[in-house]
Every structure is written in C-alpha cells, then in structure tokens.
C-alpha cells in the first residue's frame, strides 16, 4: 500500500510571527518562539544535537528542557507529515 509521501520543511512558508503555511496542502499552523527557532534551524541544515545546544544557549534552559522541547517538536512535525531530513 502506497503511503502518503512526507513533505519537506523547506516547502513551508513561515512568517516572523510564527505562522506556518504549506502552499501545497493548505495546512495553516502556528509555532511559538521555540518552535520557530527549531524549524528555521532544521531548514538551515543543523542537526538535532546542534539545535539542542542552540536552544540551551538562546533560551538559557537546561539540557533536559531543551531536549524535551526539541523531541516534542520533532514528533509534532512528523505527525503532520513533514520531514526535516
């Protein structure tokens, strides 16, 4: 059975305020500051490990919090049918 092809984050239109729009599917969603940062850094090609370090530095949070937020977001984008790879 053919499954639906995963879409790339690079295909999304993202505003500075965190509005996320997929021009192909019409999906509209919002990302908070953390999500916005993660999504942009994924699109820029940073690895999850690099993004975790970036979150720790930028938001002054501990490693556990950064890792949790990152994994939560990666699971959310996977659930929506997007890949960051």
Partner 1 sequence: MSRVAITGLNAGDSPAPGIPVIRCLREHPSWRGKIIGLGYDALESGVLDRRMVDSAYLIPYPSAGRESLLDRIRVIHHKEKLDVIIPNLDSELSNFIAIEGELRQMGIRLYLPSEDQLKQRSKTRLSEFCQKSGIMTPETKMISSPGDIDFSEERFPVVVKGSFYEAYVAYSPDVAAKRVASLAETWGYPILIQEYVQGEEFNAVAVGDGRGGVVGAALMKKLILTERGKGWACVSIDNQRLMNLAHAIVARLKWKGPIEIEAIQSQKNGEFYLIELNPRFPAWVYLAKASGVNLPHTLLQLAMGQDLDEPEQHRSGVVFSNYTTNLVMDLSSISSLFTNGELHHENVL
* Nearest-angstrom CA–CA distance, 12 and 65: 26
| Under rule CB under 8 A, residue 17 binds partner 1 | no
How many angstroms separate the CA atoms of 35 and 78, rounded?
14
What character string, x for contact with partner 1 (CB under 8 A) and - otherwise, covers 20-39?
-x-xxxx-x-----------
> Is the dihedral angle over the CA atoms 57, 63, 69, 70 positive or is it negative?
positive
1 binds partner 1 (CB under 8 A): yes
Closest CB 8 distance from partner 1, rounded Å: 15
Q: Which residues here bind partner 1, judged by CB under 8 A?
A: 1-5, 13, 21, 23-26, 28
């Amino acid at each position: 059975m053919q499954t639906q092809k995963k879409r790339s984050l690079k295909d999304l239109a993202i505003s500075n305020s965190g509005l996320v729009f997929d021009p192909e599917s019409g999906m509209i969603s919002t990302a908070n500051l953390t999500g916005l940062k993660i999504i942009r850094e994924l699109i820029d090609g940073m690895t999850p490990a690099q993004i975790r370090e970036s979150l720790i530095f930028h938001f002054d949070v501990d490693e556990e919090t950064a890792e949790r937020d990152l994994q939560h977001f990666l699971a959310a984008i996977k659930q929506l049918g997007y890949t960051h790879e």
